[in-house]
């Protein structure tokens, strides 16, 4: 595959906090497009590795360093690649395979934006209304618990 093209596979990571607030991000290239963390799989990466990398790149959250647990939702979506983004993929690629993950973080988790213009913490219903893609809405509905359990951290001391 030509190295200039993206692999038509991605990870979608729904991030929510102990209070059940869902993180949504506003795209730089489309101010009406809000989403969870998402990104394309790179060569030699597993979907889980893609999810961990994308969470760090887009939010600054280092899952391993903070002792968070990335949850593989065992859900895969297929969707048509938006026509405005199709030039990024090989000519025969029209469908993307999306692997869904969830991540619970502490309330007031620091977010460092690098690829988005804004972020919001919204309740589950507001987040489902705000995000653009149907697969993102479904992931929030299915994988954000109505009452998240409080995180237990293991002390390194």
**Known binding positions for Mg(2+):** 54, 58, 115
Task: Work out the burial of residue 155: count CB atoms within 10 Å of its CB; fewer than 13 is exposed, 13-18 middle, 19 or more buried.
Answer: exposed
Q: DSSP alpha helices (H): ranges in 95-152?
A: 124-130, 134-143
- Report the C-alpha gap between 98 and 135 in whole angstroms: 9
List residues forming the annotated binding site: 27, 38, 54, 58, 115, 133
| CA distances (Å), origin 75, targets 68, 71, 79, 99 | 20, 11, 13, 6
List residues forming the annotated binding site for substrate: 27, 38, 133
């Amino acid at each position: 595959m030509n190295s200039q093209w993206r692999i038509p596979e991605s990870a979608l990571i729904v991030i929510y906090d102990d209070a059940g607030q869902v993180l949504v991000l506003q795209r730089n290239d489309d101010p009406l497009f809000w989403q969870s963390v998402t990104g394309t799989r790179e060569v030699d990466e597993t979907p889980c590795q893609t999810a961990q990398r994308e969470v760090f790149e887009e939010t600054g959250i280092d899952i391993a360093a903070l002792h968070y647990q990335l949850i593989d939702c065992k859900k895969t979506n297929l969707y048509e690649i938006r026509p405005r983004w199709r030039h990024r993929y090989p000519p025969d690629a029209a469908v993307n395979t999306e692997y869904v993950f969830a991540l619970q973080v502490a309330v007031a988790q620091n977010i460092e934006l690098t690829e988005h213009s804004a972020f919001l913490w919204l309740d589950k219903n507001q987040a489902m209304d705000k995000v653009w893609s149907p697969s993102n809405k479904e992931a929030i509905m299915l994988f954000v618990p109505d009452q998240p359990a409080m995180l237990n951290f293991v002390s390194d001391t």
